Amino acid sequence: MVTLISDRVETKMVISMASAKGQIAARVDEDTLAQIKEIEKETRADRSEVIRRLLDEGVKQYQLKKAIGMLREGRTTVSRAAEIAGISIWDILDVMHAKKIPIPYSAEDLRRSLKLVR
For range 26-33, the mean pLDDT: 92
Whether the per-residue pLDDT at 27 is higher than 80: the answer is: yes
pLDDT at residue 113 in the model: 79
Nearest of 80, 54, 51 to residue 66 by alpha carbon = 80
Which tens digit of pLDDT belongs to each residue from 40-95? Answer: 999 999 999 999 999 999 999 999 999 999 999 999 999 999 999 999 999 999 99
Q: Which amino acid is at 30?
A: E
DSSP strands (E only) in the chain: 2-6, 11-18, 23-28
Rounded to the nearest integer, the mean pLDDT of the chain is 84
4 versus 28: which is more confidently predicted? 28
DSSP strands (E only) in 2-114: 2-6, 11-18, 23-28
Q: How confident is the model at residue 2 (pLDDT cuts 50, 70, 90)?
A: very low
